[in-house]
Amino acid sequence: MRLSSFFCKQIFRLSGWTVDTNLPPEIKKSIIIAAPHTSNWDFWYAMASFTIYRLRIRFTIKKEWMRFPFGLLMRPLGGIGIDRRPRTAGAERISFVEAMIDLFHQNEELIILITPEGTRSRQEKWKTGFYHVALGAGVPICLGYVDYKNKKAGIGKVIYPTDFATDMRTIMDFYRNI
């Protein structure tokens, strides 16, 4: 179900869109923020731009969505079912952040797309689990975007998490005009 890089480049070119090419090729594991997330079209523009990058982008979803018949669509699109059941009988259910950190530890290459706003409307306050996942897994945060005004999509910047307040300020400053 994946589109070819050539096909996506042609669609972007014909529609007047360009792709930002700031992603360092050595990055094999990362969190990509998809913001602002204001339309269902964001997913398709983002996936097309990442296809041009030749990246296999994944996204997390509740494990129940990976069952038949939804799994037939979700798997080829890059869906990964998150299972938060306790690791041992009688233990507490693991957090979403812990489950995602485990995914990074279990895979040699993994790039996960996250929408930190948690909704398809512009939000001033984001959920910050993406930051804690990146920090816990030791992976960078790539600032992905779809800018409808300038018809541009891609990765604008890469952040290696160190200090929450400073890093969040840098991230929010990047998205201020997108």
**Residue 82 and residue 113 in contact, taking contact as beta carbons nearer than 8 Å:** no
CA distance 92 to 126: 26
- Does the pLDDT of residue 85 top 80, yes or no? no
- Give the residue-averaged pLDDT of 148-169: 91
Which has more confidence, 75 or 32?
32
C-alpha 29: how far from its chain's center? 11
**Residue 12 and residue 52 in contact, taking contact as beta carbons nearer than 8 Å:** yes
Backbone angles phi, psi at 36, to 5 degrees: -70, 150
Considering the entire predicted model, what is its pTM?
A: 0.81
CA distance 37 to 27: 24
CA distance 27 to 139: 9
Backbone angles phi, psi at 174, to 5 degrees: -60, -45
pLDDT tier for residue 111 given thresholds of 50, 70 and 90: very high
Q: How far is CA 123 from CA 66, 131, 147, 151, in A?
A: 28, 17, 16, 21
* Residue 146 token pair: 């779809």
Backbone angles phi, psi at 152, to 5 degrees: -140, 140
- Does the pLDDT of residue 67 top 60, yes or no? yes
- Give the residue-averaged pLDDT of 124-148: 89
C-alpha 116: how far from its chain's center? 9
pLDDT tier for residue 125 given thresholds of 50, 70 and 90: confident
Q: What is the pLDDT of residue 136?
A: 96
* Residue 24 token pair: 């360092």
- Give the residue-averaged pLDDT of 161-178: 92
Classify 39 in phi/psi space as left (phi over 0), alpha (psi -120 to 50) or beta: beta
* DSSP class of 65: G
- Give the residue-averaged pLDDT of 15-39: 80
User: β-strands 141-147, 29-34: how paired?
Assistant: parallel
- Give the residue-averaged pLDDT of 46-59: 77
Q: What is the pLDDT of residue 68?
A: 87
Q: What is the pLDDT of residue 142?
A: 93
